[in-house]
């Protein structure tokens, strides 16, 4: 399905059948439950895959599909709703033994309440939106004097984005890594993990580089993470693909952050390193079949790295760069996978996320995967908009990245500046 | 001397912050643009008084288009 802005997009011309769902603004197309259900009815579809972004983590959409007699390729509306409330998710995971960062037990009602919690756990703290996701309504607060202004901004953003201004407070984990675990459950009650991904290279709390396995991760930390992820997903009877996100500190301690109840943008690194097809498994599970693998059959072979090429100008603080793709050359070769949403002549509009494509490389070793990525980035050419390619080439060449000693603040601290 | 404030990026006007007659300081946002899911403020280059805001919320503006005029 496609909006008017995407009528000529590659995903539309590649499809056997495509349904128009409305005008360019997402509220009237990709975020319109009514328009999507109508397109499903018109086309005679019996299932809906929500992808990522837009309505993919919207429990009302999952419920509306169920009510319309359509199979939603994802978890139940109940699980989406439970994990969508980040405060409830944190509380629930703590109750089944997962470590969480010190912070508020529930929403903080006002600035004074936020300050009481922040003083108790110690600055810096992170203000986060209960309705959360995508880094929206998230603010680092270094001192009590900054709290009132940060609280007002975060609340306004959270209300605009999620229709819910509730905020909570967590201790800020300085210098921590973002490591997540891919999980998958079926309707028979089996929950498996597909190992971890390291996703610390971020700007605005959004990922730019992901890889699997996570480099230099102590084996006991890794097994602790996968055990916790499976226990957490089991506790909510999770079905289909999901991701449990954690922060890991330099000593190997970890804390549960949140669960993403959908396929992730970065799922290809897991597919490349396990050799398994996550989307095919999602469809089987949605059709009521058991998971096609046993836990002991799922192993990491070699290494895979993914980079996200955004229409943004990294030299200007990753400012969006809409425009028309005047020329496009995609990399190819052994161990190179490209998932690209644009073609020559495509208009990169102001309406949607600026992700143009993902490049994924794999290798027998991490060094080989990185070398292949360097060659792929050198061969990739996008004319007409600014992109993150020059930035990503500096990441690949950076000694800390090559050592695997990364953390979530490196981009904002300027570690990869030209 | 009047001075035009131009959009430094293409986007949709998300919020008009300053209104004609308002006093603004250097760095104050006059409007906020939304582009590719991001909110990007357009800031006043100097202190002054807003003369006109020739754009409305919801309107698409191109990079280089005038979004405010200072007296």
What is the ipTM score, two decimals? Answer: 0.81
Q: Give the residue among B51, B58, B64 at the shortest CA–CA distance from B16.
A: B58
pLDDT, position A156: 87
B39: which chain A residues are within 8 Å (Cβ-Cβ)? 157
CB within 8 Å: A354 and B60: no
Contact (Cβ atoms closer than 8 angstroms) between residue A178 and residue A200: yes
| Antiparallel, parallel or unpaired: β A254-260 and A240-248 | antiparallel
- Right CATH number for A2-80 from 3.40.50.20, 3.40.630.10, 3.40.50.300, 3.40.190.10? 3.40.50.20
pLDDT, position B39: 85
Using CA atoms, how far apart are residues A122 and A102, in angstroms rounded to an integer? 9
For residue A161, the surrounding DSSP H or E stretch is helix A144-162
CB within 8 Å: B9 and A320: yes
CB within 8 Å: A350 and B38: no
Give me the helix-helix angle, A389-397 and A366-379, nearest 10°.
Answer: 150
pLDDT, position A91: 95
Distances (CA, A) of B45 to A320, B21, B26, B32, B61: 21, 17, 5, 15, 19
Residue whose pair of structure tokens reads 């600055």 in the numeric block: A123
Contacts of A111-119 with C-beta under 8 Å, sequence gap 24+, read A111/A147, A111/A148, A111/A151, A114/A147, A114/A151, A114/A167, A114/A169, A115/A144, A115/A147, A117/A169, A118/A144, A118/A147, A118/A169, A119/A144
Mutate to test the interface with A, among B7, B8, B34, B36 (most CBs of A within 10 A): B36
Using CA atoms, how far apart are residues A71 and A26, in angstroms rounded to an integer? 23
pLDDT, position A177: 97
Give the residue extent of every domain in chain B: 3-70
Token pair listed for A303: 């290494």
Angle CA(A367)–CA(A371)–CA(A373) in degrees, nearest 5? 115
Is B40 within 8 Å of chain A by CB? yes
Give the residue extent of every domain in chain A: 2-80, 102-171, 177-403
Contact (Cβ atoms closer than 8 angstroms) between residue A311 and residue A346: no
A319: which chain B residues are within 8 Å (Cβ-Cβ)? 8-9, 40
CB-closest option in A204, A319, A351 to B9: A319
Contact (Cβ atoms closer than 8 angstroms) between residue A151 and residue A104: no
Token pair listed for A270: 């897991």
Length of chain A as a residue count: 418
Q: Please state which CATH number belongs to domain B3-70.
A: 2.40.50.100
Q: Please state which CATH number belongs to domain A177-403.
A: 3.30.470.20
Contact (Cβ atoms closer than 8 angstroms) between residue A239 and residue A187: yes
Q: Give the residue among A379, A368, A101 at the shortest CA–CA distance from A258.
A: A101
pLDDT, position A132: 76
Burial class (CB in 10 A: 0-12, 13-18, 19+), B66: middle
| DSSP single-letter state for residue A237 | T
pLDDT, position A191: 98
pLDDT, position B1: 82
- pLDDT tens digit at each of 418 positions of chain A: 999 999 999 999 999 999 999 999 999 999 999 999 999 999 999 999 999 999 999 999 999 999 999 999 999 999 999 999 999 999 999 999 999 999 998 999 999 999 999 999 999 999 999 887 767 888 899 999 999 999 998 998 888 878 888 999 999 999 999 999 999 999 999 999 999 999 999 998 899 999 999 999 999 999 999 999 999 999 999 999 999 999 999 999 999 999 999 999 999 999 999 999 999 999 999 999 999 999 999 999 999 999 999 999 999 999 999 999 999 999 999 999 999 999 999 999 999 999 999 999 999 999 999 999 999 999 999 999 999 999 999 999 999 999 999 999 999 999 999 9
What's the predicted TM-score (pTM) here? 0.93
B33-68 confidence digits (pLDDT tens): 999 888 899 999 999 999 999 999 999 999 999 999
Name the phi and psi angles at A278, rounded to 5: -70, -40
pLDDT, position A160: 80
DSSP helix/strand/coil, A299:
coil
Residue of chain A minimizing CA distance to B14: A160
DSSP helix/strand/coil, A319:
strand
Contact (Cβ atoms closer than 8 angstroms) between residue A323 and residue A258: no
B21-35 confidence digits (pLDDT tens): 999 999 999 999 999
Does A124 sit behind a cis peptide bond, omega within 30 degrees of 0 on the bond before it?
yes
Q: Does domain A102-171 have CATH number 1.10.357.10?
A: no
Distances (CA, A) of B36 to A76, A276, B13: 29, 32, 12
pLDDT, position A163: 82
């Amino acid at each position: 399905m496609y909006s008017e802005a995407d009528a000529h997009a590659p995903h539309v011309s590649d499809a056997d059948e495509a349904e128009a769902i409305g005008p360019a603004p997402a509220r009237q197309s990709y975020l319109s439950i009514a328009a999507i259900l109508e397109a499903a009815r018109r086309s005679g579809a019996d299932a809906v895959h929500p992808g990522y972004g837009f309505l993919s983590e919207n429990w009302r959409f999952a419920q509306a599909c169920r009510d319309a007699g359509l199979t939603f390729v994802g978890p139940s509306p109940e699980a989406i709703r439970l994990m969508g409330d980040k405060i409830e998710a944190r509380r629930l995971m703590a109750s089944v033994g997962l470590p969480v960062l010190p912070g508020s037990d529930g929403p903080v009602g006002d600035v004074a309440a936020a300050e009481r919690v922040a003083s108790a756990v110690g600055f810096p703290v992170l203000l986060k939106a209960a309705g959360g996701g995508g880094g929206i309504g998230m603010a680092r607060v270094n001192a009590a004097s900054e709290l009132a202004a940060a609280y007002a901004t975060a609340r306004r953003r959270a209300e605009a984005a999620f229709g819910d201004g509730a905020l909570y407070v967590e201790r800020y984990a300085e210098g921590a890594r973002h490591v997540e675990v891919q999980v998958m459950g079926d309707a028979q009650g089996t929950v498996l993990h597909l190992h971890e991904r390291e996703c610390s290279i971020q700007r605005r709390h959004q990922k730019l580089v992901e890889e699997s396995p996570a480099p230099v991760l102590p084996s006991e930390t890794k097994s602790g993470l996968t055990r916790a992820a499976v226990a957490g997903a089991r506790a909510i009877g999770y079905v289909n693909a999901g991701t449990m996100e954690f922060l890991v500190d330099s000593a190997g301690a970890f804390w549960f952050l949140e669960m993403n109840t959908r396929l992730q943008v970065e799922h290809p690194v897991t597919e490349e390193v396990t050799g398994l097809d996550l989307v095919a498994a999602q469809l089987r599970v949605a059709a009521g079949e058991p998971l096609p693998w046993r836990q002991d059959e799922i192993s990491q072979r070699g290494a895979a790295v993914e980079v996200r090429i955004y229409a943004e100008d990294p030299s200007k603080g990753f400012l969006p760069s809409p425009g028309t793709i005047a020329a496009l050359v995609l990399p190819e070769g052994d161990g190179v996978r490209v998932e690209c949403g644009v073609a020559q002549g495509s208009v990169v509009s102001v309406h949607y996320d600026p992700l143009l494509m993902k490049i994924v490389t794999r290798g027998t070793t991490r060094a080989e995967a990185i070398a292949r990525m360097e060659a792929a980035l050198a061969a990739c050419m996008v004319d007409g908009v600014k992109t993150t390619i020059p930035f990503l080439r500096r990441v690949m060449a950076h000694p800390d990245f090559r050592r695997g000693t990364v953390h979530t603040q490196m981009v904002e601290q300027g570690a990869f500046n030209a | 001397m009047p001075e035009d404030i131009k959009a430094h990026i293409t986007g949709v006007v998300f919020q008009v912050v300053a209104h004609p007659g308002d006093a603004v300081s250097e760095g104050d946002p006059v409007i906020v643009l939304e582009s590719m899911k991001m909110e990007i403020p357009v800031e006043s280059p100097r202190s002054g008084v807003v003369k006109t805001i020739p754009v409305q919320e919801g309107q698409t503006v191109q990079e280089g288009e005038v979004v405010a005029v200072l007296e």
